[in-house]
Amino acid sequence: MSQLNNQTQSGGERAVTTAFFILALQGQAQTPFTLVDEINQGMDARNERMVHRRMVDIACQEHKNQLFVVTPKLLQGLRYSDGVTVLVIANGKGMPEKSDKLDFANILSLHKRVAAAAA
C-alpha cells in the first residue's frame, strides 16, 4: 500500500483508484445522487471500460442512489443496461443553428444499422 501521488502513479492510475473509491462509497452514501466530472480522463481504454462496466453495475442495483457522469467523450462499444439513461448535450461552434437539423434518434438508428451490417 502506498499513498497516491504523481511520482508513483500515473494520472490514469489515480483516476481509476479515485473512481473505485467513489463507487465503493455508493453503497454507504445516503444521498439522492452522486455526480462525477470527467472521471475517465487520463484512463487508457482498458481501465475506462472496466470502470464504466462497474459504474453501470452499481448504478443499476435496486435501491441505489443515482449516479451522474459528466464527460466530453466516451469510448465506443461500452456496455449499458436498461437501467441506464444517456443524455447527450450538444453545444458549441459546430452545431447547426436550427436544432431540428440534429436528429439523435436518426443518428442512433443509422449507427445500429451499420453495426448490425458489420456483425
5: pLDDT strictly greater than 80: no
**N- to C-terminal Cα distance for the chain?**
44
29 within some domain = yes
Number of structural domains, the chain? 1
For 27-70, the pLDDT digits (tens) are 777 788 888 888 888 888 999 999 999 888 887 876 677 888 88
Three-state SS at 44: coil
The CATH number given to whatever domain includes residue 35 is 3.40.50.300
In the chain, which residue ranges form alpha helices assigned H by DSSP?
A: 11-26, 45-59, 104-118
For 73-112, the pLDDT digits (tens) are 888 888 888 888 888 777 777 777 776 667 778 878 887 8
19 within some domain = yes
Say if residues 59 and 83 touch (Cβ distance below 8 Å). Answer: yes
22 within some domain = yes
74 within some domain = yes
For 69-83, the pLDDT digits (tens) are 888 888 888 888 888
Domain span at residue 19?
11-90
